[in-house]
Structure 1
Amino acid sequence: MERKSLELELLPGEYWWGGIVPDGVKMPFGGGMEAERDMHASLLGNQGSPLLLSSRGRAVWSEDTFGFRITPGKLIIQEAEGELHVDESKSNLAEAFRHAANRYFPADGRCPEALFFTAPQYNTWIEMTYEPTQDKTIAYAESVLANGMPPGVIMIDDNWMQDYGNWTFHSERFPDPRAMTDKLHELGFKVMLWTCPFVSPDSASFRYLEKRGCLLRDETGKTAIRQWWNGFSAVLDCTNPDAVEWYNGQLHTLMDRYGIDGFKFDAGDPEFYRLSDKSAEPRHPNGHCEAWAKVGLDYPFNEFRACWKSAGKPLVQRLSDKSHSWGNDGLASLIPNGLAQGLLGYAFTCPDMIGGGQVGDVLNEDFTVRKHVELDQELFVRYAQCSALFPMMQFSAAPWRVLDKEHLELNVEAARLHAEYGEEIMALARHAAETGEPIIRHMAYVFPEGGYEHVRDQFMLGCRTLVAPVLTKGAASRSIALPPGTWRGDDGNIVEGPCVFETATPLSRLPRYELID
């Protein structure tokens, strides 16, 4: 296949967004700064799309992967594997996005389940890691309610099952899964299970799937065995209809027999595939990631972390695992990377687990011993506040275990605030399902003439609610860039924009402003 290249002269004052979500902390590209990304090699564990968007209304799209480089004065597209489409007919970022969405990844009109948007999610990962049990899961859910937090989706993470590819409950950890699910439903929760495309070798599922040609093969034609974070496994070939039918059968059995509501579809990253792999339909590694995402389309309760070219679809897209940190590996990344998700067409976004979801923060190097970790309680609260007015928010480390009474109550308030905004967020989600527009939006998207391209520590929820979380340790105040109009703050103050002003930010406050004129 002939690979294509393209050079565009940058326009005066032009900035660009696009490529992969983890680069959100570097966006916008331009302004004399150099940037480079090769999407053939890696998506860095999160979502990606062959799309670039400009503040001056330009858009670049390819159906396949490409690399790009931005230098002072130029955007250079390199090694494009598909036809390059360049549109220069629009005038700003929002117009460029809407045009690209309508043409290349139109929204299909469907939304994930409403509960994702109207209530918090609770994931067992940090509390239980590789040792979830029936009793611990029920106790976790009961503690949510006992501490005044609203019920929502509860996700039972890795190792609930017998083995990878053997999607049946581990009988010792979950002796009566139906009773557990019935209890969780009675408490007001919906129940999701973690799953992945890997199959443990030397298992009954492996032998069954290998015999039927449902596993990925390497360049020699032998079943591929890939190293991933949990060891070495075969990989389900999701381009093979028989493999997908088998997998769906496993999931539907769990739904029918035990009342499971949906699934967290983890892994599927392009890094686990090779260009030389043999599959039912030849695919680039990114294409295998795309095929994995398509499996989730039949499940309204779903979650993905790694996705390629799956914009406009009713898929929940979580940010990649973050550290328990104030920096760009933690809290500071949530807003810029969440905004990047929306600008790449992934509207149904969820930050990482509140406080951070990196298992290394709580377990030792071989994942066998839980560390004694003194979490930064202020950071935990600011994580929760930052997440509260995202489309979704997700807890994992139990606030009632790691926080004192004061900080716990502030987390409960953040969870309740999300529920209070649930109707508004749900309306924006329905709008996204019809138009593809982001739910949380960059300031430059909503106010293209305001010079807000580099504002990365606040965002718009829709077009009328400005959210400005505190992202710095010990900050007693923060600066807010307020666009034109009359705004009512959460503190009751009325402020006329445009202006930049300083406002007090005690730990109890998430600054937010509603446009009233």
Structure 2
Amino acid sequence: MKFTDGFWLMREGVHASYATEVRDLHVSSDHVTAYAAVRRVEHRGATLNTPLITVECFSPAEGVIGVRATHHAGKAHHGPDFELPGADAGSAATTRRDGTVTELTSGPLTLRLDTAQPWGPVFLDGQGRRLTGVETKGTAFATTPDGGHHMVAQLALGVGENIYGLGERFTPYLRNGQSLDLWQADGGTSSEQAYKNVPFYLSSRGYGVFVNHPGKVSFEVGSESVGQVQFSVEDQSLEYYVVAGPTPKDVLSRYTALTGRPALPPAWSFGLWLTTSFCTAYDEETVTSFVDGMAEREIPLSVFHFDCFWMREYQWSDFQWDPEVFPDPDGMLARLKERGLRISMWINPYIAQKSTLFAEGTEAGYLVRRANGDIWQWDLWQPGMALVDFTNPAAREWYAGKLRALLDQGVDCFKTDFGERVPTDVVWHDGSDPERMHNYYTHLYNRTVFELLEKERGGGEAVLFARSATAGGQQFPVHWGGDCFASFNAMAESLRGGLSLSLSGFGFWSHDIGGFEGTPDPDVFKRWLAFGLLSSHSRLHGNVSYRVPWAFGEEAVEVARRFTLLKHRLMPYLYGAAVEAHRTGVPVMRPMLLEFPDDPACRPLDRQYMLGPDLLVAPVFSADGSVEYYVPSGTWTHLLTGETVTGPVWRQETYGFDSLPLFVRPGAVLPLGADDQRPDGDWLEGLTLRLYAPPASLECVVTVPDQAGADAAVFRIVREGDRVRVTAQGSARPFRVEWGDTAAEGSGEVTLPVG
């Protein structure tokens, strides 16, 4: 939200009060509280009839410093609040005073405040270098003509500093220059609205900022004041955390340790998902024809998804199969399971009036009500639609109980659609503030479903396909990009959204291969197949038309088969990246910035990414196969052709539909499985360790996980002159080592000449 009219003036009717100087300072061993006047105090009389802003500085976790600025502390607090599972119950900070200077230090991060100077705390890294700071108008409150009271904060931008994140956003990848209201909305991928609003941004200077407020947070990123990131909330208090690096990976690791690390999705979820699509006509015969068609064309399929119309029209959600379309759901699911498929079902948190659950939920008090006691309803999406009140523990159990019956039928996971259309003119069971609950609702919704899956399916088997989320939602993977058009532009905007989400703490992300709205041109579909199958999760889904590959020609079938088989062979590597995301918060799909933070050319790149630490992927966004991409320093090897490229260099090339820029990082050791038919096979059976441009001083460790995320085998690779020695620990299984055309096999220890 903008408050000023240019640099000199305020907008009409807006009055702002800025922290100006410290009038009192309380310092304990791990906490600093400053009382800041909003005008210069030149005599005693100036302390009368004027506000103070109370600024508390503390550390919730190592390497994180929190700042809480409050005007009137007496406002009732109704919640909800972000859960912070990584907040340290003990002290994570120390303080130091030296004359007028006070410092609060947590790990490699220090807040410094000099009371002899005008108000302006600064944040320093472990070497004492300034990361950012609060300048003249950096701590304030503002009142607006509509009676609103806003707390406002600014943190300075350095020259050339880039800002990323703030959720899954489809606008330009760099947030600089953008005005953003973080407010959940069902706006598709072609608008400034977002399904996943996360009040966390990451800076190219090696720090992050998390605004600890679940309601609407307005950001002006170098926009209202071009040298500042401004964020504001309509409240009496504003709390934010500065998160230390020094690298972007370190920032994400600390941030996700605080707000929650992603669960590890089951290995089977990394295979290809196929759906009925949305508004298409389908029954068991249609589903069977799809599954048969994939098998006949030798395209391995892992998950089949039933979208909305598995239920009867006008009755979403009642979680009852449409008996006219699916007269034998138990038998159908059993037949699909016999073919080795997992089953996904579409659900949402809305209850149509025609649904039997409407009366049941109304009588029990499980649906959200207005202040006068009426059930909140409207006719968008479903007629007479109501909303489950997930702040009510009994309602959560009731909702989960309806899903439990589907799990008993053989369903494995759920697509938790929607969760953004949440009203604010309502009363919540637990007394939550409706404005704060609007964005947070999705967290309760996804958590309810995810925890049910964990309980019923056991640890390591829970996975969602979720559309909406906010901070902390990364704990309940997987998330997909929402409703995109079937075009190259939408393909590119989807990738921008995914990269933005990954820099907001989310480890796993997917999208609708081919686009959701409309029917893709075969060229779009084939290019999207390669991109989709080189994403963490891969799903064929559309709106009014099917996404079976043969609907787009025989070449599309070949492309689907080629990249599905490739993804399966990559599973020892990909699941290792998944385990890393689970343990550290570093995402599977990584913006180039994460792996190459010191390369300025990588900072703005939004049409390519790293898949795990060692694979560079540049999707092709054109029918003719032309693509421009950047290769960082070193000699990179194309995974499919063996061609080498030495960077740093920009490349402009043309690729057929069966390929794309897919390069292996120099010095990488890529573990490849032998089984290309399924994602959850035995990865140690026939395992190959392939070396790429091994340096003379190569010494590294490669770990192949098991499907629970534990280390199944650990390989130590050391280059000794003209040979490479690979020693296996934890496994006596035979393995193969390759470098170019040279290969050696054995168990325990293998030596390979490298010339």
TM-score by length of 1: 0.89
Conservation of the 8 A alpha-carbon contact between 1:262 and 1:301:
yes
Render the CA deviation track for 1:145-168: whole Å, top value 9, x for unaligned: 112111211110002124223212
Q: 1:28 aligns with which of 169, 174, 179?
A: 174
1:37-56 → structure 2 map (5 Å cutoff): 37-40=180-183, 42=185, 44-56=193-205
Whole-Å separation in 1 of the counterparts to 2:183 and 2:160: 29
1:117-128 → structure 2 map (5 Å cutoff): 117=270, 119-126=271-278
C-alpha RMSD over aligned residues: 2.1
Shift of 1:190: 0.4
State the partner residue of 2:647.
Answer: 497
Shift of 1:137: 1.7
State the partner residue of 1:380.
Answer: 525
Matched AA of 1:513:
F
Shift of 1:131: 4.0
State the partner residue of 1:12.
Answer: 159
Conservation of the 8 A alpha-carbon contact between 1:54 and 1:92:
no
Q: 2:251 aligns with which of 65, 86, 96?
A: 96
Conservation of the 8 A alpha-carbon contact between 1:312 and 1:436:
no
State the partner residue of 1:315.
Answer: 477
SS of residue paired to 1:98:
helix
CA distance 1:151–1:507, change in 2 (3 Å): closer
CA distance 1:78–1:45, change in 2 (3 Å): closer
Of Structure 1 and Structure 2, the greater helix share is in: 1
Conservation of the 8 A alpha-carbon contact between 1:60 and 1:87:
yes
1:38-437 → structure 2 map (5 Å cutoff): 38-40=181-183, 42=185, 44-64=193-213, 65=215, 66-70=217-221, 71=223, 72-79=226-233, 83-87=238-242, 89-103=244-258, 105-107=259-261, 110-117=263-270, 119-126=271-278, 129=279, 131-162=281-312, 163-256=315-408, 258-269=409-420, 271-274=421-424, 276-283=426-433, 284-298=437-451, 299=453, 300-327=462-489, 330-351=490-511, 353-358=512-517, 361=518, 375-396=520-541, 397-437=546-586
Conservation of the 8 A alpha-carbon contact between 1:264 and 1:302:
yes
SS of residue paired to 1:222:
coil
Shift of 1:249: 0.9
State the partner residue of 1:366.
Answer: none
Whole-Å separation in 2 of the counterparts to 1:473 and 1:479: 14
% identical aligned pairs: 23
Shift of 1:311: 3.6
SS of residue paired to 2:513:
coil
Shift of 1:183: 1.0
CA distance 1:296–1:204, change in 2 (3 Å): closer
State the partner residue of 1:449.
Answer: 598
Whole-Å separation in 2 of the counterparts to 1:154 and 1:41: 29
Runs of 4+ in 1 over 4 A off after TM superposition: none
Number of equivalenced pairs? 488
Render the CA deviation track for 1:290-332: whole Å, top value 9, x for unaligned: 21121122221321001122344132101111111111xx111
Whole-Å separation in 1 of the counterparts to 2:657 and 2:345: 34
Whole-Å separation in 2 of the counterparts to 1:405 and 1:290: 42
Render the CA deviation track for 1:273-298: whole Å, top value 9, x for unaligned: 22544333414211212211211222
Matched AA of 2:535:
F
Shift of 1:80: 6.2
Conservation of the 8 A alpha-carbon contact between 1:17 and 1:28:
yes
Larger displacement relative to structure 2 (1-10 or 243-252) = 1-10
State the partner residue of 2:623.
Answer: 473
Matched AA of 1:38:
D
SS of residue paired to 2:374:
coil
**Runs (5+) with no aligned partner, structure 2:** 1-74, 76-148, 187-192, 454-461, 668-755
Whole-Å separation in 1 of the counterparts to 2:568 and 2:559: 14
SS of residue paired to 2:651:
strand
Whole-Å separation in 1 of the counterparts to 2:364 and 2:374: 13
SS of residue paired to 1:437:
coil
Conservation of the 8 A alpha-carbon contact between 1:302 and 1:316:
yes
Whole-Å separation in 2 of the counterparts to 1:194 and 1:209: 20
Conservation of the 8 A alpha-carbon contact between 1:275 and 1:285:
no
Shift of 1:247: 1.1
Matched AA of 1:6:
A
Conservation of the 8 A alpha-carbon contact between 2:167 and 2:196:
yes
Larger displacement relative to structure 2 (466-475 or 394-403) = 394-403
CA distance 1:140–1:88, change in 2 (3 Å): closer
Whole-Å separation in 2 of the counterparts to 1:432 and 1:89: 19
CA distance 1:231–1:450, change in 2 (3 Å): farther
Matched AA of 1:27:
Y
Shift of 1:482: 1.0
SS of residue paired to 2:240:
strand
Matched AA of 2:232:
Q
Matched AA of 2:203:
S
TM-score by length of 2: 0.62
Whole-Å separation in 1 of the counterparts to 2:200 and 2:425: 22
Conservation of the 8 A alpha-carbon contact between 2:305 and 2:344:
yes
CA distance 1:516–1:394, change in 2 (3 Å): same
Shift of 1:3: 4.2
Matched AA of 2:465:
E
Rg larger for: 2
Of Structure 1 and Structure 2, the greater strand share is in: 2
Conservation of the 8 A alpha-carbon contact between 2:447 and 2:476:
no
**Runs (5+) with no aligned partner, structure 1:** 363-374
Shift of 1:83: 3.8
State the partner residue of 1:372.
Answer: none
